[in-house]
Amino acid sequence: MTTTQPTIEALVADLEARFDDVDLGHVRAWKDGARHRLAVGCLPVFAPREVIWAAGALPVFVRGAGDRIETIRGDAYYQSYICHLPRSTLELGLLGHLDVLDGMVFPNTCDVIRNLSGMWQTSFPQHIVRFLDPPQTAEPASAAAYLHHELTTLFRDLCAHNGVEPVPARLHLAIADYAAANVVMRELAAARQREPWNLPVDEVYLLKRAADSMPPRDWADLARRYLAAAAARGRKPEDRIRVCLVGSFCEQPPRALLRAAEKAGCYIIDDDLTLGVEPNGPDPLLGDDGDPMAAIVAAWLRTTRPSAVRYDEHGTAGRILAERVAAVGADGVVFAAPSFCDPALLDQPRLTRVLDQRNIPYTSFKYAENTGQFQAIREQAGTFADSVKLWGTA
The residues binding ligand SF4 (CB under 6 A) are 83, 85-86, 109-110, 112-113, 250-251, 338, 341-344
Least distance in angstroms from the C-beta of 166 to ligand SF4: 31
Least distance in angstroms from the C-beta of 351 to ligand SF4: 16
If the CB atoms of residues 291 and 342 are measured against ligand SF4, the closer one turns out to be 342
If the CB atoms of residues 269 and 344 are measured against ligand SF4, the closer one turns out to be 344
CB 43 within 8 A of CB 90: no
In a 10 Å sphere around its CB, with 0-12 CB exposed, 13-18 middle and 19+ buried, how is residue 277 labelled? Answer: buried
If the CB atoms of residues 90 and 175 are measured against ligand SF4, the closer one turns out to be 90
If the CB atoms of residues 247 and 284 are measured against ligand SF4, the closer one turns out to be 247
Buried b (16+ CB within 10 A) or exposed e, 182-220: bebbeebbebbbebbbbbbbbbbbbbbbbbbbbebeebb
Q: Residues near 95 by Cβ (< 8 Å), separated by ≥ 6?
A: 69, 73
Least distance in angstroms from the C-beta of 271 to ligand SF4: 15
Least distance in angstroms from the C-beta of 81 to ligand SF4: 11
Q: In this structure, what is the dihedral angle of CA atoms 11, 12, 13, 16, given to the nearest 10 degrees?
A: 130
CA distance 263 to 266: 7
Least distance in angstroms from the C-beta of 325 to ligand SF4: 23
Q: How far is CA 90 from CA 74, 114, 121, 145, 325, in A?
A: 5, 13, 12, 33, 36
If the CB atoms of residues 55 and 250 are measured against ligand SF4, the closer one turns out to be 250
If the CB atoms of residues 251 and 331 are measured against ligand SF4, the closer one turns out to be 251
For residue 13, which amino acid is it? A
Least distance in angstroms from the C-beta of 44 to ligand SF4: 6
Q: Residues near 198 by Cβ (< 8 Å), separated by ≥ 6?
A: 191, 230, 231, 233, 234, 235
If the CB atoms of residues 113 and 189 are measured against ligand SF4, the closer one turns out to be 113
Least distance in angstroms from the C-beta of 338 to ligand SF4: 4
Helix (H, G, I), strand (E, B) or coil at 135: coil
